Structure 1
Amino acid sequence: MATTIRPRPPGVCAPSRPARGPVAGRRRYPSDNGPVERLSGLVGRGGVVVLSGAGLSTESGIPDYRGPSGLRRSAAPMTYQTFTGDPVARRRYWARSYLGWRTIAAAAPNDGHRAVARLQRCGLVTGVITQNVDGLHQAGGADPVIELHGGLDRVVCLACGDLTPRADLDGRLRAANPDFAALAGGINPDGDVDLTDEQAAGFVTVDCAACGGMLKPDVVFFGEQVPAGRVRASFDLVERAAALLVLGSSLTVLSGRRFVIRAAKLGVPIAIVNQGPTKSDELAGVLVDAPLGPTLTRLAELVA
């Protein structure tokens, strides 16, 4: 039976009706109103958990890893082992991150972030899990949000565990590098930029103000484990969900894909909105290949 969408007065949210229901067979739809209305039939029932990836933030000027904007990346992501074991690589990372933080700190939430927050306020989205480290979900009004890979707005000491705002570290790095004038290349999804070894060679790092230990962004580097508490909380959301909505993730990394696999095993309907294919397309009942901002804005207009 087709889903009938009735317009609601502005500012009036749809009632949340968290109940699992059948989803039509797999098909990839073009980017027009048809697939969005189809998606609204699933989201409009409520009980939706969102799993977001870097593709949701591309419209805010932050490229993704493997989508269209990710093709520009030239530097390999930093690994935890390299960061902690190689002082030269660590200095190079902080030089790149020091410049990249300007873009991350200035980035604003886009229409996609705001649409997710609207769906959450209306009770249709019951949980948000993000693989992003840019804080744009929260800036767009979503709360609570599970930051699976942490956040760039915080810095942790690996010796004493002290957690401090990134803005504080930025001030200390500015003071330690008054003449650092390297020109940044393109911003990368994890908040650093492209610099040559020569450009980074004169950069001065700083240590923990409390104990002198090694500082690291409070994010999960490649080769590092996601904290078990976050993983458990995310599985709990998925296991209670009426539907799982994946936004802007290629699902290449198991860190996020495992939640889609769990949803599929439990019979939780899955919808994916992404530009390009993902590694879990075969598990989704609804696939929408389209820009996320306009798609999610239209979705929110229909159901919230």
Structure 2
Amino acid sequence: MDCNSPEQIAEQLIEMIDHSDHVIAFTGAGISTESGIPDFRSPDGLWSQMEPIMFDDFISDEATRLEDWRRRFIQNEEFLKAEPNEGHMALVRLEKRGKLVSTITQNIDGLHQRSGLDPHNVIEIHGNGTFATCLDCHAEMTLADARSHIEAKGTSPKCPHCGGIVKTAIINFGQAMPEAEMMQAMRLSGDCDLFIVLGSSLVVYPAAGLPQIAKQHGARLVIINRDPTPLDQLADLSIQHEIGSIMKRIV
């Protein structure tokens, strides 16, 4: 079902939410671009202008680690300039109403947590770019500490606890998806009665399979994305519109 007026769209979405008890939100880059964060995978994005850094290369080569850190610092500067938008805040309102069970996100900017969502209910299947972790003992390190180390010593940071390699808490190309987070996301997708996609092109797997899991288990599917997605025909409500203009009406 397609519709055009933001008011009509919001009315249909509100009705679907009112008749649901276990809502799952699934967010992609589109919700963050409305906060001014560039889509780094877009044709004009940062990653399209240079070769992606593979996880194995990060592990094996110091120069590659330093280049990865350089890119991540650029990326984090964009994150820090951004603020949660109407789409983020609508999810907070749904969580407070007891409708939204969890938010599964492909985004790494931390905006969902900054918006006020319960961090325990945010599942980051592609990691988080606002802090770093040791690949061995998983101890956390701030990006400020990592930058200070690089600027002072000219080498990539090592874990002060175990000496392991430290990396931003992002899933790099070639790195395994976080198993616990993906299992939780799959379970929640199968248990929900309404699955709302916000700003994902639904082309990156296995994440793009989550709406299909929800639909296969009887949930209604809503897709709000500026451009068409491969799963639009599967959706009960397919909306090609700006997320904020729709979601700000969800109270």
Question: Which SS does the other structure have where 1:102 is aligned?
Answer: helix
Offset from partner CA, 1:115-166 (integer Å, 9 cap, x none): 1111111112121111111110110111121111121122112233322233
Offset from partner CA, 1:202-245 (integer Å, 9 cap, x none): x6433223333221111111222222211121122112211100
Q: 2:72–2:129: 8 Å Cα contact kept in structure 1?
A: no
Counterpart position of 1:38:
12
Cα distance change, pair 28–71 in 1 and its aligned pair in 2 (3 A): farther
In structure 1, C-alpha distance between the alignment counterparts of 2:220 and 2:136, rounded to whole Å: 43
2:84 to 90, 109, 133: 109
Q: 1:50–1:127: 8 Å Cα contact kept in structure 2?
A: yes
Counterpart position of 1:248:
199
The aligned runs of 1:58-73 (5 Å cut-off) are: 58-64=33-39, 70-73=42-45
Cα distance change, pair 247–162 in 1 and its aligned pair in 2 (3 A): same
In structure 1, C-alpha distance between the alignment counterparts of 2:87 and 2:148, rounded to whole Å: 31
Question: Which SS does the other structure have where 1:249 is aligned?
Answer: coil
Any stretches of 5+ residues in structure 2 without a counterpart? none
Offset from partner CA, 1:50-88 (integer Å, 9 cap, x none): 01111110021112256xxx2312234332122223332
* TM-score, structure 2 normalization: 0.89
Counterpart position of 1:166:
143
One-letter code aligned to 1:122:
R
Question: Which SS does the other structure have where 2:43 is aligned?
Answer: helix
Offset from partner CA, 1:87-120 (integer Å, 9 cap, x none): 3222211122223322223321111111111111
* TM-score, structure 1 normalization: 0.75
Offset from partner CA, 1:14-41 (integer Å, 9 cap, x none): xxxxxxxxxxxxx332253222211222
Q: 1:31–1:290: 8 Å Cα contact kept in structure 2?
A: no
Q: Percent identity?
A: 33
Number of residues of Structure 1 aligned to a counterpart in Structure 2: 245
The aligned runs of 1:1-304 (5 Å cut-off) are: 27-46=1-20, 47-64=22-39, 70-73=42-45, 74-143=49-118, 144-176=121-153, 204-298=155-249, 300=250, 304=251
Q: 2:62–2:156: 8 Å Cα contact kept in structure 1?
A: no
Counterpart position of 1:5:
none
Cα distance change, pair 175–85 in 1 and its aligned pair in 2 (3 A): closer
Q: Give the deviation of 1:174 after TM superposition.
A: 4.5
Q: Alignment RMSD, CA only?
A: 1.9
One-letter code aligned to 1:293:
G
In structure 1, C-alpha distance between the alignment counterparts of 2:105 and 2:128, rounded to whole Å: 10
One-letter code aligned to 2:17:
V
Q: Runs of at least 4 residues of structure 1 off by over 4 A?
A: none
Cα distance change, pair 117–86 in 1 and its aligned pair in 2 (3 A): same
Q: 1:153–1:167: 8 Å Cα contact kept in structure 2?
A: no
Cα distance change, pair 29–260 in 1 and its aligned pair in 2 (3 A): same
In structure 2, C-alpha distance between the alignment counterparts of 1:92 and 1:100, rounded to whole Å: 13
Question: Which SS does the other structure have where 1:97 is aligned?
Answer: helix
